[in-house]
């Protein structure tokens, strides 16, 4: 009876359910969950009017969701208007939880997020993973995982799935890391190396960062570019609330957009790619610094301290970003561009020249550029929330397991 969830990469609300009565029921259950989850405590009547069903129908849907423990009744609303007050419904703080994990270059992190979207447990281990063998790293990750799951279970949660963000390219099976240069990993099936108790999804951390921005960002934008720079310079392209992956899963390679067609050669085969001007290495070199351990922290620190050569290097990088983003904005006409991940920390010195360049090249009002408020937490939260979304997208599937 379970639908094929977790197939391929996580995407937006899955319209994969068949157009049969049971499929309809499941979609309506999902719509109730989403509505209550997104718009706070709501009465049955308001849910009904929002999703276009009758109160009676919503009543039965809600009954089923309450019996499954996915929704809970908070009791009568405070009556402000005329008429009988409704009974407030809220997404349950117990039951299934999404487990998110991140394998960063300099840390490991795991967290548990409940259906309400709140982080209920977390564990972090700092220390570089650059060049370490995958085995020990994943064993360490598994121990953090056990810790977080135990914490979550103490709070009445049970793990509904695990999503892992990695700094590299992931195969379409959503399990295999094709290559993660900064870790030195390649062709690694994480599913085979981790305890297989949970449905597993692996994805690029830039993608999870973009999804986090989509689900948790300010103003709930549905069309934007989320630019981050952990490995190279990547952008998550979100169109109409869906992450654009491309036919081969290579979409968002902003780092290899040509900025100066006859510029220096790039490893990708091209010339004058954005990465040659705004990549980590290029900026460090332009600033006259040696590549060390915490490169981004080093840059941010020097810039904050007033180091003019670092500031100039970042200004130039911002200008290059502006050129590349002009192309992207002309092509996609997004609502906004959001700087996330490591770029968020450098934003104060990147933004002015970036915005200036973008505005200079745009007729009319330029596309808004902002900084993600999620900062470096994005990918981890996005991963955990992606699991939560699968539950919200098909509550009936999880009710059977609970």
Partner DNA sequence: ACTAATTTGTAAACGGCCATGACGAAATAG
Partner DNA sequence: CTATTTCGTCATGGCCGTTTACAAATTAGT
For DNA, the binding residues (CB under 7 A) are 18-22, 24-25, 28, 43-46, 52-57, 59-63, 76, 79-87
What 3-state class would DSSP assign to 107? strand
Question: Is residue 16 a contact residue for its own copies (CB under 8 A)?
Answer: no
CA-CA-CA-CA dihedral for 108, 168, 204, 141, to nearest 10? -20
Q: Which stretch binds its own copies (CB under 8 A): 97-105, 162-170, 262-270, 375-383?
A: 262-270
| Pick 88 or 211: Cβ nearer its own copies | 211
Question: Is residue 270 a contact residue for its own copies (CB under 8 A)?
Answer: yes
| Pick 87 or 312: Cβ nearer DNA | 87
| Pick 134 or 279: Cβ nearer its own copies | 279
d(CA 275, CA 255): 5
Region of 218 (left: φ > 0; alpha: ψ -120 to 50; beta: rest) is beta
Residue 304 interacting partner from DNA, its own copies, none (CB closer than 5 to 8 Å by kind): none
Residue 253 interacting partner from DNA, its own copies, none (CB closer than 5 to 8 Å by kind): its own copies
d(CA 299, CA 321): 17
| Pick 56 or 331: Cβ nearer DNA | 56
Residue found under tokens 């509505």: 35
d(CA 196, CA 198): 6
Residue 82 interacting partner from its own copies, DNA, none (CB closer than 5 to 8 Å by kind): DNA
Q: How many CA within 13 A on the CB side of residue 267? A: 6
Q: State phi, psi for 129 to the nearest 5 degrees.
A: -115, 5
The residue from 87, 184, 362, 371 that contacts its own copies (CB under 8 A) is 362
| Pick 78 or 248: Cβ nearer DNA | 78
Question: Is residue 260 a contact residue for its own copies (CB under 8 A)?
Answer: yes
Query: How many residues line the site for its own copies (CB under 8 A)?
Result: 56
Q: How far is the CB of 213 from its own copies (least distance, A)?
A: 16
CA-CA-CA-CA dihedral for 169, 172, 174, 177, to nearest 10? -30
The footprint of its own copies on residues 47-66 (CB under 8 A) is: 51-53
Question: Are 203 and 162 in contact, with CB atoms under 8 Å apart?
Answer: no
| Pick 4 or 79: Cβ nearer DNA | 79
Question: Are 299 and 311 in contact, with CB atoms under 8 Å apart?
Answer: no
d(CA 363, CA 197): 54
- What is the token pair recorded at 56? 């009676």
Residue 81 interacting partner from DNA, its own copies, none (CB closer than 5 to 8 Å by kind): DNA
Question: Are 89 and 42 in contact, with CB atoms under 8 Å apart?
Answer: yes
Question: Which residues are at the interface with its own copies (CB under 8 A)?
Answer: 15, 18-21, 24, 27-28, 31, 51-53, 223, 235, 237, 239-240, 242, 244-261, 267-271, 323-324, 326-328, 330-335, 360-363
């Amino acid at each position: 009876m379970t639908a094929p969830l977790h197939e391929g990469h996580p995407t937006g609300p899955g319209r994969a359910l068949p157009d049969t009565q049971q499929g309809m029921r499941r979609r309506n259950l999902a719509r109730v969950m989403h509505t209550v989850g997104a718009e706070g405590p709501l009465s049955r009547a308001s849910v009904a009017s929002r999703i276009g069903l009758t109160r009676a129908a919503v009543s039965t849907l809600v009954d089923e969701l309450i019996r499954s423990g996915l929704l809970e009744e908070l009791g009568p609303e405070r009556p402000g208007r005329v008429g009988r007050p409704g009974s407030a419904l809220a997404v349950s703080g117990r039951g299934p939880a999404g487990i998110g994990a991140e394998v960063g270059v300099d840390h490991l992190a795991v967290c548990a997020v409940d259906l309400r979207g709140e982080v209920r447990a977390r564990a972090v281990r700092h220390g570089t993973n650059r060049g370490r063998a995958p085995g020990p790293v994943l064993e360490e990750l598994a121990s953090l995982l056990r810790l977080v799951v135990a914490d979550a279970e103490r709070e009445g949660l049970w793990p509904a799935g695990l999503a892992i963000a990695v700094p590299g390219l992931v195969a379409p099976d959503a399990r295999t890391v094709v290559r993660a240069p900064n870790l030195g990993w390649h062709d690694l099936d994480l599913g085979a190396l981790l305890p297989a108790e949970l449905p597993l999804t692996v994805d690029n951390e830039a993608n999870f960062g973009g999804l986090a921005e989509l689900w948790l960002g300010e103003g709930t934008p549905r069309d934007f570019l989320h630019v981050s720079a952990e490995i190279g310079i990547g952008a998550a392209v979100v169109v109409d609330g869906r992450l654009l992956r491309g036919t081969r899963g290579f979409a968002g390679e902003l780092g290899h957009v040509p900025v100066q067609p006859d510029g220096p050669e790039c490893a990708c085969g091209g010339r004058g790619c954005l990465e040659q001007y705004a990549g980590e290495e290029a900026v460090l070199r332009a600033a006259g610094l040696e590549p060390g351990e915490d490169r981004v922290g080093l840059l941010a620190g020097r810039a904050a301290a007033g180091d003019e050569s670092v500031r100039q290097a970042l200004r130039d990088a911002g200008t290059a970003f502006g050129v590349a983003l002009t192309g992207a904005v002309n092509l996609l006409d997004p609502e906004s561009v959001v700087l996330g991940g490591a770029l968020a920390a450098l934003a104060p010195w990147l933004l002015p020249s970036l915005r200036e360049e973008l505005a200079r090249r745009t007729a009319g009002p330029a596309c808004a550029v902002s900084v993600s408020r999620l900062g470096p937490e994005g990918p981890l939260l996005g991963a955990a929330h992606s699991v939560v979304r699968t539950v919200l997208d098909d509550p009936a599937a999880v009710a059977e397991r609970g």
